Structure 1
Amino acid sequence: MIAPKQLERSSFYVIYPEGTPAQFVKWMFSVFGTAGWPPAEDSIDEEALEGARALRIPIIPRDVSIIRDKPDPEVGKQLVVRSDDQKGMVILEGYLSHNQPPALIREWKLPVLARENIE
């Protein structure tokens, strides 16, 4: 969702012209942002799931939740999406359990798009 080509086609910079990482995380969990999420494994039928896998379309696994800002103690496996505005980064942390350190950490610099690409 954070790739420049995807952001160009999204509503993010229209809604948030300044485009900070914190705003991106807020937008990502909004009605507009969630519309662009990959399908969840438990929300599509088996035939569509096989087709998506064959085309290498990302699927959210049935036992993984996507959470905003901090781990949820009520959830097991989870991907936590948070921001660091000072560094200009969107951060993804993968947890096998909320009470363990993250098993995965990825950081992306939020792209700055040229105004002509979003107007």
Structure 2
Amino acid sequence: MSTPNQATPNTVKAYAHDVKDWFVFLSAEDLDRREVRLKSVGEFLAPCLGYLNHEMNHETLVPIDEDLSEAIAEQRCRLHERRPDGANVKSAPPRTTTERQTSDACR
């Protein structure tokens, strides 16, 4: 069964959870929702892993914890050490601010 906008109840619950997380983030950063800048949105999304959801044919962001984020960054550095030119490395380009900073740090 779906709601009038064709979202399933589970999707609506997931959206509600995301909105709650957004407001918790704003509160923790002492930001007013009416004065949010793009930088804040990037900081909110930084600890997420992006992947292509083939079933729904769109990119999805999945929150990840700090340990996983660090493990991904370490693996990127190991790959960069083995293949500085990037040849034969099947790794997606950095998507988050943290990944870009780690990529830059490995150079």
TM-score of the pair, normalised by structure 1 = 0.26
Bigger Cα Rg:
2
TM-score (norm: length of structure 2): 0.28
Structure with bigger strand share is 1
Higher helix share: 2
